[in-house]
């Protein structure tokens, strides 16, 4: 902004009294006074020495960068001064605006007061928050005891701001409530003083006025489809996990200068060649630890609750930039929505003895394999520190996710490292009784540390080395090659197998099994919402039987076979249920292939609903918080509806209220369902209770009544299964070792 230098000649007066202007109701305005301190502070019997005052951010008489104003990041610009003369006991720093220099009669504005800085101090660093021991903040325009409040001029006319430093032969009484009280104590004790003048004016454009400060710099977003919603894309929440940071806990993000345009999504984290189309289109790179925010919060308004959404993909694929997870729908309903990327596959979940030993040396925890979960926790910590600037309430955070995202929710809900970072948890699919064998391959499956280390060692040995430096120098494309594989060592009592790279029971991030956690009641004390879909985890729509039987090939990771024949159904029942197999076949009878497929789907749905209800009983015992369970039964429209039905993940567009984000032939009925579902989810985020005006009542989980809330079609409570089938599944679970 360059302006002719404006100076103020220091005049040491014999006496000074600050007459404060009155605020409403007669209270003193601690942020404004008539005079500059340097013109009224009395010297100690002889003319004061002049201190040379400089700043690394600007030169005397030049413009103060916007980063150091309230239009920008409001960061203290940093200050240096020459040492005071012999006898200096303490320093006082006072920053004041002087609008009178513009020809107006007005009080000066106080922007920073720091007293009792030590005698050996000759600087204050940029962005200072905590003063040296013994020093304290005085008053400014934000009130008593406040830190730096940068210039916030209300006119385009340049205004001078004085960065004043005083060397005193005494210390002042701590925590002065008004500037005149501080200056009155300074009278007769000033040994030296200096003044640096910076110039500031209101920015010509609104870029800085709309910029949002984060701990690493300013960001600007873009309006969404609804201009009332601002979208911020690709904000780094951690340093790129490359080189020496590969397979280490996330490090702090790197700060930037100026304003970062958060107008495009960050890279997707590296994943196999069959990654989802969204990740492939966005481009993959290890520099991928970024997050995205949707907010319609108004400046100065009531802070809004926050939803942190964790994407699915079997811990192997996916990204937070997928259109399916667009947050504008819920933002319009009063929620601040956050999506993000976390490390996947071998880069996110590799465990080896060498990595565990390194963890023991560096953090005191001999653990490895949960880098993706540590990314989740880093996001929640970032939200805690930064989301208020986007209109979010850091004390009202909900985590939610589907499939592997639901698995992450489950892991975070039992991790002591996530304690206090969220109030509510939503797991869309896969919350199960700890004794349910389905846990062994679904997204909530984990590995024990020893087995994970052994499998990881074999994997890296196939790449020619177990040396960590060599592995960290290896191109990520070479590291992930062949990582899309299943863990054949897990007995799931079916053909389904979990992915090899998944979370680890490491004694640190995950210290206990599900069963041990629930038995000890050590889970995080949060409201929990969990449910399943009609056509997932082995269940398929009736219209898909023939087409599925014609399909060949090995089972996909995390999914049982669905090409059911009568013979396969009977063989599978004996393999899974053993002595209970005949009872199972009586409860789910079949005489031909179609009947076997129908019975298989009925059994899968019963298993899912009963298991989630049984899990809810145990969760509520130790959490002391409400639990809500659901069963989603609506099939999205489209040519694939007969084959897929209410498929795994089909609820996402509806709960996020973003039908606009997916190209399907949506009907008015779909829009009504989406409005109801997204209202439920918005209420969960806001209060922990899905219920609200105009919504079908959704009762909390009842440990004495095996029932579940039906969502999508035929809203209302339904039995999880017939009493006889419910009894069978609970007895079967009791025969299994807790997972």
Residues with catalytic annotation?
A: 403, 536, 648
Listed in sequence order, the residues at least 6 apart from 556 whose beta carbon sits closer than 8 Å to its beta carbon are none
CB atoms within 10 A of CB 652: 24
> What are the CA-CA distances from residue 108 to residues 9, 70, 707 (Å)?
16, 17, 68
| 432 exposure class (CB count in 10 Å sphere: 0-12, 13-18, 19+) | buried
46 is written with which tokens? 């002889």
229 is written with which tokens? 């919603």
DSSP 564-617: --HHHHHHHHHHHHGGGHHHHHHHS--SSHHHHHHHHHHHHHHHHHHHHHHHHH
Cα within 13 Å of Cα(253), Cβ side:
22
263 SS3 class:
strand
> What are the CA-CA distances from residue 515 to residues 412, 439, 519, 738 (Å)?
15, 11, 6, 6
Cα within 13 Å of Cα(528), Cβ side:
33
DSSP 286-330: S---EEEEEE-PPTTSPPEEEEEEE--STTTS--TT-GGG--HHH
Angle at 400 between CA 394 and CA 404, to 5 degrees: 135
**Of 359, 309, 352, which is closest to residue 508 (Cα–Cα)?**
359
CB atoms within 10 A of CB 306: 29
- The sign of the dihedral angle between the CA atoms of 674, 678, 681, 687 is negative
Phi, psi angle pair for 330, to nearest 5°? -75, -30
Residue in the structure block whose two tokens are 């990204």: 319
Dist CA 608 CA 537 (whole Å): 8
Dist CA 640 CA 635 (whole Å): 10
CB 287 within 8 A of CB 242: yes
DSSP 476-534: HHHHHTT---B-TT---SSS---BSS--EE-SSSS-S-HHHHHHHT-S---EEEEEEET
Dist CA 199 CA 58 (whole Å): 9
Listed in sequence order, the residues at least 6 apart from 28 whose beta carbon sits closer than 8 Å to its beta carbon are 20, 22, 178
Dist CA 218 CA 233 (whole Å): 13
Listed in sequence order, the residues at least 6 apart from 180 whose beta carbon sits closer than 8 Å to its beta carbon are 17, 18, 19, 20, 33
CB 534 within 8 A of CB 632: yes
Count of H-run helices and E-run strands, the chain: 21, 26
Looking only at the bridges linking them, the beta strands covering 230-236 and 527-533 are unpaired
Dist CA 587 CA 362 (whole Å): 55
Angle at 122 between CA 116 and CA 127, to 5 degrees: 80
Residue in the structure block whose two tokens are 């700060």: 255
Dist CA 508 CA 618 (whole Å): 23
């Amino acid at each position: 902004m360059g302006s002719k230098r404006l100076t103020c000649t220091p005049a040491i007066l014999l006496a000074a009294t600050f007459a404060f202007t009155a605020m409403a109701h007669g209270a003193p305005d601690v942020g404004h006074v008539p005079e500059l301190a340097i013109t009224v502070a009395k010297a100690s019997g002889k003319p004061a020495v002049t201190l040379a005052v400089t700043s690394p951010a600007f030169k005397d008489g030049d413009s103060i960068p916007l980063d150091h104003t309230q239009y920008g990041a409001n960061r203290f610009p940093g200050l240096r001064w020459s040492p005071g003369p012999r006898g200096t006991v303490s320093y006082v720093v006072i920053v004041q605006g002087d609008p009178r220099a513009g020809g107006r009669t007005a009080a000066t504005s106080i922007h920073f007061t720091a007293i009792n800085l030590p005698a050996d101090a000759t600087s204050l660093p940029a962005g200072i928050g905590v003063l040296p021991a013994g020093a304290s903040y005085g008053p400014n325009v934000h009130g008593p005891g406040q830190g730096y409040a940068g210039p916030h001029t209300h006119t385009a006319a340049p205004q001078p701001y004085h960065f004043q430093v005083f060397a005193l032969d005494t210390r002042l009484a701590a925590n002065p409530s008004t500037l005149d009280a501080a200056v009155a104590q300074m009278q007769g004790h000033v040994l030296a003083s200096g003044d640096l003048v910076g110039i500031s004016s209101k920015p010509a454009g609104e870029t800085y006025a709309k910029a949002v400060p984060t701990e690493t710099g300013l960001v600007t977003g873009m309006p969404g489809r609804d201009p009332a919603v601002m979208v911020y894309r690709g904000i780094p929440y951690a340093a790129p996990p490359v080189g020496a940071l590969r397979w280490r806990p996330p490090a702090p993000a790197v700060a930037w200068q100026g304003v970062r345009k958060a107008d495009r999504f960050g890279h997707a984290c590296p994943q196999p060649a069959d990654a989802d189309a969204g990740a492939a289109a966005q481009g993959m790179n290890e520099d991928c630890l970024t997050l995205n925010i949707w907010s319609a919060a108004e400046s100065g308004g009531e802070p809004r609750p926050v939803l942190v959404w964790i994407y699915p993909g079997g811990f192997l694929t996916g990204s937070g930039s997928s259109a399916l997870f667009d947050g504008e729908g819920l933002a319009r309903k009063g929620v601040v929505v956050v999506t993000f990327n976390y490390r996947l596959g071998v880069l996110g979940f590799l465990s080896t003895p060498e990595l565990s030993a390194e963890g023991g040396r560096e953090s005191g925890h001999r653990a490895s394999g949960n880098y993706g979960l540590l990314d989740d926790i880093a996001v929640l910590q970032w939200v805690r520190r930064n989301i208020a600037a986007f209109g979010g309430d850091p004390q009202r955070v909900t985590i939610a996710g589907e499939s592997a995202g639901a698995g992450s929710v489950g892991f975070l809900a039992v991790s002591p490292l996530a304690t206090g970072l969220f109030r509510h948890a939503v797991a869309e699919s896969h919350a199960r009784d700890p004794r349910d064998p389905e846990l062994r391959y679904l997204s909530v499956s984990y590995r024990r540390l020893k087995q994970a280390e052994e499998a990881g060692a074999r994997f890296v040995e196939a790449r020619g080395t177990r040396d960590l430096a060599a592995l960290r120098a290896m191109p990520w494309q070479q590291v992930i090659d062949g990582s899309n594989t299943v863990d054949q060592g897990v007995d799931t009592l079916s053909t389904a197998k979990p992915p090899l790279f998944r979370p680890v029971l490491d004694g640190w991030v995950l210290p206990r099994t599900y069963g041990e956690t629930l038995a000890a009641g050590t889970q995080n004390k949060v409201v929990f919402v969990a449910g399943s879909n009609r056509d997932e985890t082995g269940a398929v729509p009736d219209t898909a039987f023939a087409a599925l039987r014609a399909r060949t090939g090995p089972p996909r990771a995390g999914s049982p076979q669905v090409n059911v024949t009568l013979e396969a159904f009977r063989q599978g029942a004996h393999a899974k249920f053993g002595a209970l197999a005949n009872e199972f076949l009586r409860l789910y009878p079949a005489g031909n292939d179609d009947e076997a497929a129908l019975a298989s789907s009925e059994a899968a749905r019963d298993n899912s609903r009963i298991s989630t209800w049984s899990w809810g009983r145990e969760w509520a015992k130790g959490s002391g918080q409400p639990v809500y369970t659901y069963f989603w039964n609506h099939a999205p429209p489209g040519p694939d509806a007969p084959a897929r039905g209410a498929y795994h993940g089909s609820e996402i567009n509806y709960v996020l209220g973003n039908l606009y984000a997916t190209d399907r032939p949506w009907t008015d009925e779909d829009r009504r369902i989406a409005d109801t579902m997204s209202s439920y989810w918005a209420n969960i985020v806001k209060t922990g209770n899905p219920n609200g005006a105009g919504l079908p009542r959704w009762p909390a989980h009842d440990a004495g009544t095996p029932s579940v809330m039906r969502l999508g079609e035929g809203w209302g409570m339904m039995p999880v299964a017939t009493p006889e089938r419910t009894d069978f599944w609970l007895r079967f679970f009791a025969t299994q070792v807790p997972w």
